[in-house]
Amino acid sequence: MPHTNNSKPATTNHQAGQLFVPPSDYPRIVVIGGGFAGMALAKQLRRQPVQVVLLDRNNFHQFQPLLYQVATSGLDPESIVFPFRKQFQGYPNLFFRMADVQEVQPAQKRVITDRGALSYDYLVLATGTKTNFFGMQTIESNGLCLKTIQDALDIRHRMLANLETAIETTAPDKRRSLMTFVVVGGGPAGVEMAGSIAEFKRYILAKDYPELDPDMMQVFLIEASGRILSAMSEEATQKGMRHLHQLGVNVLLNEAVTDYDGETVTMKSGRAIRTHNFIWSAGVTGQLPKGISPDQVVRGNRLRVNPFLQVEGMPDVFAIGDIAGLSSEAFPRGLPQVAQVAIQQGRYLGKVLPQIIRGETIAKKFVYKDKGALATVGKKRAIADIGKWKFSGYLAWLIWSVVHLMSISGFRNKVLVGLSWLFSYFSYEKSNRLIIYDPCAYQSDFSSHQAARPRRKDA
Ligand SMILES: Cc1cc2nc3c(=O)[nH]c(=O)nc-3n(C[C@H](O)[C@H](O)[C@H](O)COP(=O)(O)OP(=O)(O)OC[C@H]3O[C@@H](n4cnc5c(N)ncnc54)[C@H](O)[C@@H]3O)c2cc1C
């Protein structure tokens, strides 16, 4: 039975230092983060006698599973992001505020944002994760990562700008380095990224850059453990390896990357690879605002929650999605950080929170229904672990495509992504090969290789 709270609804005056939200007679639920979890929760709370305030540092929801396609010019960014204000048209009890939450003050029942303070009756943390560089500063400052739409565009720009530079580079070593791509991390995101870059080499390079020798372009996927896709079955790992091999990706197993200085990737074994294109996809860590006691934080910087998704020791505070640290018999090290867990937790909390507010006893704990795992390796090839069915190839890719199309927010986005896929299915084309920002900022050479856009420490 979760703890209950019968405190009076929060009221807000539009004062200096306050984030303005109209006063309401209903209890106020502040939700931090409009990812899969926060969105599912906000939708479920529609028409409930509560005031929902959704805070996100962006004014859009992003569909992270397809970021790699934006990074490799397969999709345009607008087709995988969706504005919150459009999503929540017709939600009279929901107020969106674009604000970065910097601190949670549970004793005062308020959050501090870059736009002012906001009081709450109930708080839901749905802040997801950020890239984990494991404290390796040089990798963080010199490498690229794939967590946000901005990251995906950085990769696209860097990749295209470096190929432009390679054309004008006569020194073979430097040219090879500009055309070498290193992806670190053999999870689904790294495998998909490496496969997609390899397809770029196979189908685009010779047509767009006839002056470049395709054999010079190399794609490496480096994994510290002994297998890729380790969260999936052994069959999935084998099939993933085979597909990557067919695409020409060099997979290095049992190689831990220790440094990247902007020119050279160094591994623990002493091995080194020269590259101007380094993508770190080797882990994530929970993204928490200040004000949370370390006692509440568990493995992976996640929040310890009870089976009602209530943060242990904080009766009015809940956590859902990647940030929630809940384990089960099947997942003793914590539920997987995937969209399905986030969506199911958002929906569950949307049902039980109004009951908790009414002081009712909640009998049903949250139980994750595992619908299986999918990963794609290039076009027309995917790997599926669905219950006892483990298969790969075209059918798995079709299922992957349908599942992703159905999950993308908004009819327009579904159509845009569906049409892009249909077009590239028949033409093997990728149509978004544009360097939109200042091209000079994205060119890296041996004397100047700083990242063009300073990465936010918290994104
Ligand atoms: C490259 C990549 C590929 C992936 N592929 C798959 C896949 O194929 N299948 C799958 O199931 N899962 C995949 N995942 C994982 C999946 O995207 C996550 O599990 C899911 O997004 C978690 O949802 P969430 O709502 O918990 O967090 P998120 O979706 O990360 O959302 C968190 C939100 O909180 C906001 N936020 C964070 N901190 C603050 C703050 N302080 N103030 C204001 N706003 C804040 C962020 O802006 C963001 O909108 C992938 C992830 C990545 C990065």
Domain residue spans of the chain: 28-57+99-131+285-357, 140-282+379-441
- Tell whether ligand 1 has an atom less than 6 A from the beta carbon of residue 100: yes
- Tell whether ligand 1 has an atom less than 6 A from the beta carbon of residue 65: yes
- Tell whether ligand 1 has an atom less than 6 A from the beta carbon of residue 162: no
The residue-averaged pLDDT of 318-344 equals 96
Provide the residue count of the chain.
Answer: 459
Contact 347, 124 (CB under 8 A): no
Q: Tally DSSP H helices, then E strands, for the chain.
A: 13, 26
- Tell me, in angstroms, the distance from the centre of ligand 1 to residue 323's CA: 9
- Tell me, in angstroms, the distance from the centre of ligand 1 to residue 343's CA: 11
Looking at the DSSP assignment, which residues form a beta bridge with residue 303?
Answer: 297, 324
SS3 157: helix
Which atom of ligand 1 is found nearest the CA of 404?
A: 8
Q: What is the pLDDT of residue 443?
A: 57
For atom 34 of ligand 1, the residue with the nearest CA is 33
The overall average pLDDT reported for the chain is 91
- Tell me, in angstroms, the distance from the centre of ligand 1 to residue 90's CA: 25
Residue 376: HSE in the Cβ half-sphere, 13 Å Cα cutoff: 25
d(CA 280, CA 329): 31
Q: For domain 28-57+99-131+285-357, is the CATH number 3.50.50.60?
A: yes
Q: How confident is the model at residue 181 (pLDDT cuts 50, 70, 90)?
A: very high
Sequence-distant (≥ 6) Cβ neighbours of residue 227 within 8 angstroms: 186, 234, 237, 253
- Tell whether ligand 1 has an atom less than 6 A from the beta carbon of residue 37: yes
For atom 33 of ligand 1, the residue with the nearest CA is 33
Residue 411: HSE in the Cβ half-sphere, 13 Å Cα cutoff: 0
| 139 sits in which H/E element | helix 137-142
Q: How confident is the model at residue 108 (pLDDT cuts 50, 70, 90)?
A: very high
Q: What is the pLDDT of residue 459?
A: 41
Looking at the DSSP assignment, which residues form a beta bridge with residue 94?
Answer: 52
For atom 53 of ligand 1, the residue with the nearest CA is 147
- Tell whether ligand 1 has an atom less than 6 A from the beta carbon of residue 340: yes
For atom 35 of ligand 1, the residue with the nearest CA is 33
Active site residue 192: yes
Q: pLDDT tens-digit profile of 358-382?
A: 999 998 999 999 999 999 998 788 9
- Tell me, in angstroms, the distance from the centre of ligand 1 to residue 147's CA: 8
Q: What is the pLDDT of residue 431?
A: 66
| pLDDT exceeds cutoff 70 at 76 | yes
The answer to whether domain 28-57+99-131+285-357 and domain 140-282+379-441 are alike in fold is yes
The residue-averaged pLDDT of 60-64 equals 97
What's the pTM? Answer: 0.92
Sequence-distant (≥ 6) Cβ neighbours of residue 303 within 8 angstroms: 125, 286, 288, 292, 296, 297, 311, 319, 323, 324, 325
| pLDDT exceeds cutoff 70 at 10 | no
- Would you list the DSSP string of 311-369? BTT-TTEEE-GGGEE---SS-TT----SHHHHHHHHHHHHHHHHHHHTTPPP-PPP---
- Tell whether ligand 1 has an atom less than 6 A from the beta carbon of residue 12: no
The best mutation among 338, 349, 383, 408 to test binding of ligand 1, ranked by most ligand atoms within 8 Å of the C-beta, falls on 338
- Tell me, in angstroms, the distance from the centre of ligand 1 to residue 127's CA: 8
- Tell whether ligand 1 has an atom less than 6 A from the beta carbon of residue 262: no
Which atom of ligand 1 is found nearest the CA of 287?
A: 38
d(CA 95, CA 40): 15
First to last CA, the chain: 35
For atom 26 of ligand 1, the residue with the nearest CA is 321
**Least confident range of 88-102, 156-170, 425-439:** 425-439
Contact 407, 401 (CB under 8 A): no
Catalytic residue among 140, 192, 199, 263: 192
d(CA 352, CA 285): 27
- Tell me, in angstroms, the distance from the centre of ligand 1 to residue 327's CA: 19
The best mutation among 124, 127, 144, 343 to test binding of ligand 1, ranked by most ligand atoms within 8 Å of the C-beta, falls on 127
Q: Percentage of the chain surpassing pLDDT 90?
A: 82
- Tell me, in angstroms, the distance from the centre of ligand 1 to residue 190's CA: 16
| pLDDT exceeds cutoff 60 at 355 | yes
d(CA 435, CA 419): 22
Q: How confident is the model at residue 426 (pLDDT cuts 50, 70, 90)?
A: confident
| pLDDT exceeds cutoff 60 at 444 | no
- Tell whether ligand 1 has an atom less than 6 A from the beta carbon of residue 342: yes
- Which CATH number does the domain 140-282+379-441 belong to among 2.40.50.180, 3.50.50.100, 2.40.30.10, 1.10.3720.10? 3.50.50.100
Angle between helices 394-407 and 411-427 (to 10 degrees): 150
| pLDDT exceeds cutoff 80 at 188 | yes
